[in-house]
Amino acid sequence: MQNLNKLHIKEEQTANNWLKENGITNRLFNEAQVFQLQAYKTATNILKHNVKLLKNTEYEQLTSYCKAMLNSKQRNSLTKRNTYEILNIGTRINRQLFKQYRKIK
Protein backbone atom coordinates (compact mmCIF):
# COMPACT_ATOMS: atom_id res chain seq x y z
CA MET A 1 0.00 0.00 0.00
CA GLN A 2 2.85 2.39 0.81
CA ASN A 3 4.46 1.66 -2.55
CA LEU A 4 1.26 2.74 -4.31
CA ASN A 5 1.20 5.95 -2.28
CA LYS A 6 4.83 6.72 -3.17
CA LEU A 7 4.15 5.95 -6.82
CA HIS A 8 1.10 8.22 -6.81
CA ILE A 9 3.10 11.07 -5.25
CA LYS A 10 5.90 10.62 -7.78
CA GLU A 11 3.46 10.63 -10.71
CA GLU A 12 1.72 13.72 -9.34
CA GLN A 13 5.03 15.54 -9.05
CA THR A 14 5.88 14.59 -12.64
CA ALA A 15 2.54 15.95 -13.83
CA ASN A 16 2.95 19.16 -11.82
CA ASN A 17 6.44 19.67 -13.25
CA TRP A 18 5.13 19.23 -16.80
CA LEU A 19 2.34 21.73 -16.14
CA LYS A 20 4.81 24.22 -14.70
CA GLU A 21 7.12 23.86 -17.73
CA ASN A 22 4.15 24.74 -19.95
CA GLY A 23 3.19 27.76 -17.85
CA ILE A 24 0.13 26.24 -16.20
CA THR A 25 -0.41 26.40 -12.43
CA ASN A 26 -2.50 23.88 -10.52
CA ARG A 27 -5.18 26.50 -9.83
CA LEU A 28 -5.34 27.49 -13.48
CA PHE A 29 -5.52 23.83 -14.50
CA ASN A 30 -8.52 23.27 -12.24
CA GLU A 31 -10.41 26.44 -13.18
CA ALA A 32 -9.87 26.89 -16.93
CA GLN A 33 -11.55 25.17 -19.85
CA VAL A 34 -9.60 22.64 -21.92
CA PHE A 35 -9.56 24.78 -25.07
CA GLN A 36 -8.26 27.73 -23.04
CA LEU A 37 -5.45 25.60 -21.61
CA GLN A 38 -4.45 24.40 -25.07
CA ALA A 39 -4.18 27.95 -26.36
CA TYR A 40 -2.35 29.08 -23.21
CA LYS A 41 0.21 26.29 -23.58
CA THR A 42 0.70 27.20 -27.24
CA ALA A 43 1.09 30.89 -26.42
CA THR A 44 3.60 30.36 -23.61
CA ASN A 45 5.69 27.95 -25.67
CA ILE A 46 5.80 30.31 -28.64
CA LEU A 47 6.72 33.25 -26.42
CA LYS A 48 9.39 31.14 -24.75
CA HIS A 49 11.03 29.59 -27.80
CA ASN A 50 10.00 31.26 -31.07
CA VAL A 51 9.49 34.97 -30.46
CA LYS A 52 11.63 35.88 -33.48
CA LEU A 53 9.08 34.40 -35.87
CA LEU A 54 6.20 36.52 -34.58
CA LYS A 55 4.82 39.71 -36.07
CA ASN A 56 4.27 42.65 -33.68
CA THR A 57 0.50 42.23 -33.63
CA GLU A 58 0.80 38.51 -32.95
CA TYR A 59 3.23 39.15 -30.10
CA GLU A 60 0.78 41.58 -28.53
CA GLN A 61 -2.07 39.15 -29.04
CA LEU A 62 -0.19 36.29 -27.35
CA THR A 63 0.93 38.38 -24.39
CA SER A 64 -2.55 39.81 -23.83
CA TYR A 65 -4.02 36.28 -23.98
CA CYS A 66 -1.53 35.06 -21.37
CA LYS A 67 -2.36 38.01 -19.10
CA ALA A 68 -6.09 37.37 -19.52
CA MET A 69 -5.64 33.70 -18.61
CA LEU A 70 -4.01 34.66 -15.31
CA ASN A 71 -6.96 36.88 -14.33
CA SER A 72 -10.08 34.85 -13.51
CA LYS A 73 -12.56 37.56 -14.57
CA GLN A 74 -10.82 38.12 -17.90
CA ARG A 75 -10.44 34.36 -18.41
CA ASN A 76 -14.21 33.91 -18.20
CA SER A 77 -14.67 36.47 -20.97
CA LEU A 78 -12.34 34.63 -23.38
CA THR A 79 -14.24 32.90 -26.16
CA LYS A 80 -13.40 29.99 -28.40
CA ARG A 81 -12.75 32.48 -31.17
CA ASN A 82 -9.94 34.04 -29.10
CA THR A 83 -8.40 30.64 -28.49
CA TYR A 84 -8.65 29.65 -32.18
CA GLU A 85 -6.75 32.80 -33.12
CA ILE A 86 -3.95 31.79 -30.74
CA LEU A 87 -3.93 28.22 -32.04
CA ASN A 88 -3.81 29.50 -35.64
CA ILE A 89 -0.73 31.55 -34.77
CA GLY A 90 0.80 28.40 -33.30
CA THR A 91 0.03 26.46 -36.47
CA ARG A 92 1.65 29.14 -38.62
CA ILE A 93 4.78 29.13 -36.46
CA ASN A 94 4.98 25.32 -36.61
CA ARG A 95 4.72 25.44 -40.40
CA GLN A 96 7.60 27.92 -40.54
CA LEU A 97 9.69 25.72 -38.26
CA PHE A 98 9.03 22.64 -40.41
CA LYS A 99 10.03 24.56 -43.55
CA GLN A 100 13.27 25.67 -41.88
CA TYR A 101 13.96 22.11 -40.75
CA ARG A 102 13.34 20.78 -44.27
CA LYS A 103 15.82 23.30 -45.72
CA ILE A 104 18.46 22.15 -43.26
CA LYS A 105 18.04 18.51 -44.32
Distance CA 27, CA 78 (A): 17
Distance CA 34, CA 42 (A): 12
Evaluate whether 73 touches 65 at the Cβ level (below 8 Å): no
Distance CA 53, CA 82 (A): 20
In-domain check, residue 2: no
In-domain check, residue 49: yes
Q: Residue 1: its pLDDT value, please? A: 55
How many structural domains are present in the chain?
Answer: 1
In the chain, which residues have pLDDT < 70?
1-2, 4
In-domain check, residue 16: no
What is the extent of the structural domain holding 72? Answer: 32-104
